[in-house]
Amino acid sequence: MDATELPLKAPERLAAVQASETDIVERALIDASTRIPVLMFYTSAIVWLLLGTLLAWLVSFKAHSPDLLGNVSFLTWGRLRPAHMNIMIYGWASMAAMGTGIWLMARLCRTVLRHPLLIITGAAFWNLGVLVGVGAILVGENTGFQWLEFPPYAGLILFVAYAIIMSWAVLMFRFRRGEQIYITQWYLIGAFLWFPWMYAAAQLMLFVVPVQGVMQSAVAWWYANNLMFLWFGAIALGTAYYMIPKVIGRPVYSYHLATIGFWTYALFSSWTGLQRVVDGPFPAWMITASIAAAILTIIPIVTVGLNHHMTMAGNFQLMRYSPTLRFTVFGAMAYTVFGALGILLSLRSIARFVNFTQVHVAYSHLGLYAFVSMILFGSMYYIVPRLVGREWRYATLIKLHFWAAAYGVGLMTLMLLAGGFAEGSNMEDPTMSFNESTLSILPYLRGRSVAGVLMAAAHFIFAFHFGLMLFGLGRTASVPTFLNPVEAEGSETHL
Amino acid sequence: MNGQPNNPQQPRVRQGMDYGENEEVQDVHAAIAREKREPRVGLEPLSIWIIIVYGLALFLGGAYLGRYSGPFTGEALDPPVHPMKKVAAGGAAGPAQELTPAERGKKVFSQNCATCHQMSGTGVAGQYPPLAGSEFVTAGSRRPAMIVLKGLQGPLKVKGVQFGTAVMQPWDKTLTDQKIADVLTFIRSEWGNKASPVSAEQIAGLRKELASHAESWNEADILAVPADAELPGGAPAGQPNEASKGAPQQAQPPKPQG
Amino acid sequence: MRGLAPLFLGLFAIFAFSWLGLTAIPNAQIGHLDPEVNPQDENDMYPLPPSGMAERGRHVYTSNGCMYCHSEWIRADYISADIERKWGERRSAPRDYIFARPVVLGQMRIGPDLSNVGKRAPSEETSAAQPGASPAGSPAAPPAPAKSTSSPAPAGNPPNKSASPPSPNQSPAPPQNAPASSPSPEGLPYSAAWHHQHLYAPRSVNRDSIMPGFKFLYEKRRISGEPSADALKLSGRDTPPEGYEIVPTYDAKCLVAFLMSLDQSHPLTEVKAGAAPAAPAAASPAPSPAAAAPAPEAKK
């Protein structure tokens, strides 16, 4: 990477960062080529998001009112919960991530996407795989492993779909133009390669040549954790590394921090995962290794956080205007919180209390929603106008989406953390009957349902707004949709 | 915007619906046109503070790894034991001596009795009789002690409500005298019940008395015992109880209340 | 960074490192365990492969998502209250799970831990007395047949006492084909009948429970002639209408068989036992004939 020629602190004229005409034309061509595949990914992702949200509602309400819609086999809580988790993971988050990843890869590699039909086919197969898998869960074909509940035949469909999609993305990278590989591309290539490796390893070791006994659990937790960090987290961080400097027009603060952040992130995050089974029937060294790796993730957390913060420094006020920046910075900050919480929760003395409680649910949602999904929302707000040639129509809807989602996930996290701690300390106190630990969490579960209403509202608003864009009902304008009126003339807030 | 020649200088940006704007070709690509150049990285050097943070993190992580790994075998299960942890182990419940009898009894209750009689003491309608306000619990200590020791079967009327065929198992083989005494003390003082506590010695005496009685009670057996019969040795001037099912009387010298 | 090759190598190395460390190497250590044979008694092996019904029951367990609320592992007594809560007598070890496929350790305790729920069943073999009745692999067959006279004719009613007080012959016939059976009283906790009732209508057994009911695992059918042996004894709101009975489906019976097979009390040399065997109170609520008997006996 060559150093930028601009002074880093307070460049005088942002006009110098505007693109040249050839760049514009090139980008227009690239965007036109990615249009249908990426829109297909986004549309599918949003449909799955809505379905998953409905399931989340059912799961949340049935947790404190178990007789609701009771006694129908495919609506029992134990099937709705994995259905919800898998729809959100493989339906919503993965497809949104792949859509964003393909667009980013095309832009950064400065290559046009050739043969989009293959990617479209891949996306259709992926949809099929998720549909088959979720249907299987609802009729009772659950493999028993968290985030791997899809039966092997659905997993195979997903794998084939992925192979079609991602080999194209990797080829784009192989034939990239330009000397340098930007940070985002490291993260994206990492994610695109790691996912099939980890998925194949998990499927092989659990279903094809199954390992014995508790090793199944170890493999499952290793996979789930790697999925969170090396697939979702990597794509999310890569996206943030693109969106933040792009929107504000300044370079990323430090190349060294970015390098260190990337490699330590991958190295340490991939080793965590077994702290979920602290004190479990495993050799001590495995669990301790996971916990030590979790402690060491302080390095990437601090590094990435600092890098983003220093890049943004002096420009936080732009979050008032840009939807993309708002969502992305929220997500990046959530990563810091998520990471710190993860370290705390893995220390043995704390893990003892929170194992087996709702705290794990809070932690997962902090990661998958507050961190990954919010960054993906931000990327969609940036990318979709460039694909459909319209701007987002109603700034109010964007603001509603943001606040409902932010408050929703914040409330949910707080409720479940507090409730989980109460539940955990009751469980550890043998003078309290087990029932009391369950009873103590009920009010918090109801609070979570309230949060769920907020989040559902956010999703439906977003889906409606996206639908408008899809049918060409956005604004035709040369001005982006700002979230608040831009005050003065002469303020350089081109976005 | 930058150098698009045939575009008249647009007014500076204002918020609002822009349907009045023209739809010339370049506006369809307006989003792309106004983008900044692709992001790139700066080269700020690493601050010394960051390096210190890294060093600390590495040290902590490594120290944790070293301390808690245990031997690198498949047999050293998690967690590796450390002496200082053992001291803390008793912390939650506290050594038994520090709990009052009712608190110990609550523990026994929650582990053995709550499944049926519920922690609220209300039992389950039609199946498990309630203990809260139950005449069998709050009157003399002999009846409840008999029931806990030897069990109860068959129909039973409690607080005017008929219970059918629930079966209560005997606990004489599975609970010690102290535990039975504690749980009786608990149920006799909880949920609004106000009755005297029961001591381990009283239970021991009753156990000896009933040693030859192998069967579970039924309702008639219990009702044959006067409601206010107390176990000998208790504080409220335990009256010698009337003949129960032929078990010999045991006159015991009054003991200090347990 | 330039070039795809070093990037690719780095990415692969990181992946391989964690894969090796967390899956491959531990698999070499604990992935090929055999059951432990008691040196004093060759026939005493633990664990034993589960019965067919229990295996199918495990499948029913995962297909209905029971592991999302129930865990199945016990932690050591010096760092948790699991053993004090009588959920088990010792902590779990890898060897406990070698025949579990899939292993459902579970990660939440919205409901109590189930590792030893089969052990906590009251001794039923008194009324069972037919093959496969204790619906699990041998571990579930409670030991010490000594005490309880197996009276295969509990056709009596409650006051039917055999010589041994500790095992009231109550429990109705075990889930499958039972011999004679009389309308028997509600099940003792953790007996097969109790499990069926609990699965059908959890709040009829435990008012505070938030477990969903699994009525779809049960059939409502018309009573033809005699009420069938495994009909559930229900009361209150859950009672079926006149002339109908609720019977478990095969899946329900398998599920209960699986639950009754969950028993980790057999000692293992790699696990130092908790406080269990010494104290008389160590036994679970069930009057399992104080068979906290000498270790070699404990065939669990």
Q: Burial of B254 by CB count in 10 Å (0-12 exposed, 13-18 middle, 19+ buried)?
A: exposed
Average pLDDT over residues C129-137: 33
SS3 C220: strand
B75 touches chain C (CB under 8 A): yes
Structural tokens at position B26 = 């370049």
**B142 φψ region: left (φ > 0), alpha (ψ -120 to 50), beta (else):** alpha
Query: How far is A212 from A285, CA to CA, in rounded Å?
Result: 19
Strand locations in C78-153, DSSP E? none
Give strand pairing partners of A252.
B41
**Which among A437, A292, A429, A409 has a CA at the least distance from the CA of C108?**
A437
Write down the domain spans for chain A. Answer: 20-180
Residues from chain B that touch C122, judged by Cβ atoms under 8 A, are 169
Q: Tell me which of A186 and C243 has the higher pLDDT.
A: A186
Whether A189 sits inside 8 A of C108 (CB atoms) is: no
pLDDT digits over C190-216, tens only? 888 889 999 998 988 888 889 999 999
Is there a contact between B57 and A299 if contact means CB atoms under 8 Å apart?
Answer: yes
Select from A144, A281, A434 the Cβ nearest to the Cβ of C67.
A144
Question: Which residues are CB-neighbours of B65 under 8 A, at least 6 positions away?
Answer: A288, A289, A292
Q: CA end-to-end span of chain B, whole Å?
A: 92
| Residues in chain A where the model's pLDDT stays below 50 | 1-16, 488-495
Tokens linked to A140: 């009772």
Cβ contacts of C43 within 8 Å, gap of 6 or more: none
pLDDT tens readout for residues A309-360: 999 988 888 888 899 999 999 999 999 999 999 999 998 889 888 888 999 9
Distances (CA, A) of A309 to A92, A211, B39, B41, B50: 28, 44, 16, 14, 14
For C168, which of B79, B89, B151 is closest by C-beta distance? B151
Beta strands in C159-300 (DSSP E): 218-222, 244-248
CA-based nearest distance B142→chain C, Å: 20
Q: How far is CA C124 from CA A381, B57, C115, in A?
A: 64, 57, 19
Residue listed under structure tokens 């045939």: B6
Whether the predicted pLDDT of C180 surpasses 60: no
Closest-CA residue of chain C to A264? C14
CA angle B210, B213, B215 (to 5 degrees): 130
ipTM of the complex: 0.88
Contacts of A148 in chain C (CB under 8 A): none
Q: Using CB atoms, which chains have 3+ pairs under 8 A with B?
A: A, C
Mean predicted confidence (pLDDT) in B65-73: 81
User: Mean pLDDT, chain B, as a whole number?
Assistant: 71
Q: Which of C166, C185, C189 sits opposite B115 (nearest CB)?
A: C189
Residues of A in contact with C275 (CB under 8 A): none
3-state secondary structure B4-50: CCCCCCCCCCCCCCCCCCCCCHHHHCHHHHCCECCCCECECCCCHHH
Give per-residue pLDDT as tens, B168-217: 878 877 788 888 888 888 888 888 888 888 888 888 888 888 888 877 88
Percent of chain C at pLDDT > 90 equals 30
Q: What percent of chain B has pLDDT over 90?
A: 3
Distance from CA of C131 to the nearest CA of B (A): 26
Strands C244-248 and C45-46: unpaired
pLDDT at A360: 93
Q: At what angle do helices A152-174 and A94-109 cross, to 10 degrees?
A: 10
What CA–CA distance (Å, rounded) separates A236 from A372? 5
Would you call A340 an interface residue with chain B, using a CB distance cutoff of 8 Å? no
Please give the pLDDT value at position C296: 38
pLDDT at B156: 82
Q: How high is the pLDDT of residue A339?
A: 95
Question: Cα(A254)–Cα(C146) distance, rounded to whole angstroms?
Answer: 77
- B81 — pLDDT class (breaks 50, 70, 90): low
**Lowest-pLDDT range, A83-97, B46-60, B219-233?**
B219-233
In the numeric block, which tokens belong to residue B122? 């209300």
